A and B are shown apart, each in its own frame.
Chain A
Amino acid sequence: MIPVAFDYVRPSTVEDAVSALANAGEEGKVLAGGQSLLPVLRLRLAAPSVLVDLGGLAQLRGARVDGDRLAVGAMTTHAEVAGSDVVRAEVPLLAAAAARIGDRQVRHLGTLGGALAHADPSGDLPTVAVALDAELVVAGPGGRRSIPAAEFFRDLFTTALGPDEVLVEVRLPRLAGWGYRYEKFQRTAQAWATVGVAAAVRRENGSIAEARVALTNMGPTPVRAVAVERALAGADASADALAAAAEHAAEGASPASDLAASAEYREHLARVLTRRALTAAAGL
């Protein structure tokens, strides 16, 4: 299949990108890595009049430490995120999840910003962003604003981004020294996550000082496993305590039933995978 015809612009500044989007109105669409968008276009499920390609924005690539945050440019590819020394040192959970996205070819083109703005409920990176309370910096006609991940993901494929806004940077807390695990369950290696669990754990004196847990594909947006985190706070870093906490994993989730799995099975998986993720993250 071949996409419906569209116009194409490739701005070289963020400001130009924003104004190109504003000019496009309702019919504009941002092209980041294109790994989700191009299949949609090929199947003619969408027919934007203009594609605004952010591929020329070199300033949106790369990761750096900025105070107590790790700042990653939105156009940094999954392969770059997964392979970045600074990401692996500061937020290894993000690198681990990025390494599990799609396949090599997809990771070479797909970008962090694209994956977040796409807001696929089975996407891995939105879950990490929510688990870690990332802040998403967006640029619009009125300048830049920062949106907490918890508020960024509004619904299935729906974010707080305005149609003339561009996601430019993702800021994450530096979690060097935390244990982490992205546990991904797939029907086949090519399949999207049936369920995923992002877990980061800080141990202190044999107990869990802090834990952050979020789930992939357990609702229209990433689900923060609040009940699990609550149960973990101050708990012993023991297998039993982690298992008990993981039993709360599906609380507050509203998973779908689809071809890959039923809601009931997803809830079961969420509990099992959360236990496994916590166990790994806690180094047990």
Chain B
Amino acid sequence: MARISLTVDGVTYTDDVAPRTLLAYYLRDQLGKVGTVIGCDTTNCGACTVLMTDADGVPRSVKSCAVLAVQADGRGVTTIEGLAPDGDMHPMQRAFHEQHALQCGFCTPGMIMSAVDLVADNPDPTEDEVREGLEGNLCRCTGYQNIVRAVVAAAAEMRGAGAAPSTAEAPAKPAPEPAEVAS
């Protein structure tokens, strides 16, 4: 076992982990951060994408199934659950909702985290740049079109340029539902 200490969604944890523990499983099994999901075992699908600070402290998107928990020692991790800590939606989350950028929602946490990272690097991406920027995330439901639209819209909102028109009607901000936990 190895002792690690890291910050996840603003909370500092110190744990003993087996070196073979993948960050994705550490988040899910030891921290209960089940918002981050695992969709493959070859780092293709990107569903497990989280932000992890690099050696310079800059948050970067990584596939948490391709990182050992021990490699995250001393780092800061942000998951989909910590994207909007005060309960408000992050603009990217809101855009995914407003642009109907999800159907089953399984790829969504990773997709949103990748998109947040992309827009941090490129605040005004074209549709093609969004498509390239999300090449590490697979979605089987949406054909990506509305995802691309959502990222462009969120980027606009984050630049303060005002949101692009929604595909849908005036957004009713969805009330966050309480987490469902099995007994």
Contact = CB atoms under 8 A, between A and B. Distances in A.
Q: Most chain-B CB neighbours within 10 Å: which of A55, A61, A109?
A: A109
Nearest to B137: A103
B114 A104 contact: yes
Contacts of A190: 44, 135-136, 138
Contacts of A1: 41
Interface in A1-36: 1-8, 10, 31, 34-35
Interface in B53-84: 54-55, 60-63, 65-68, 70-71, 73
Interface residues of A, number: 33
A39 B48 CA distance: 14
Contact of B136 (A7, A10, A39, A103): A103
A89 interface: no
Contacts of A31: 68, 71
A58 interface: yes
Interface string B18-33: 1110100100000000
B29 to A, nearest CB: 10
A8 B114 contact: no
A42 B41 contact: yes
Contacts of B61: 104-105, 108
B133 interface: yes
B22 A8 contact: no
B20 A61 contact: no
B2 A8 contact: yes
Considering the complex of A and B, which 10 residue pairs feature the smallest CB-CB distances, nearest first? A103-B136, A8-B19, A108-B60, A189-B135, A3-B20, A38-B66, A105-B63, A103-B135, A1-B41, A105-B136
Interface in A87-122: 102-106, 108-109
Contact of B68 (A38, A79, A103): A38
Interface of A: 1-8, 10, 31, 34-35, 38-39, 41-43, 51, 53, 55, 58, 61, 77, 79, 102-106, 108-109, 189-190
A39 B49 contact: no
Nearest to B17: A8
A1 B66 CA distance: 12
A51 B136 contact: no
B43 interface: yes
Given A189-B135, A190-B135, A39 B54 contact: no
A43 B54 CA distance: 26
Nearest to A1: B41
A10 to B, nearest CB: 7
Contacts of B68: 8, 31, 34, 38, 51
Interface in B123-172: 132-133, 135-138
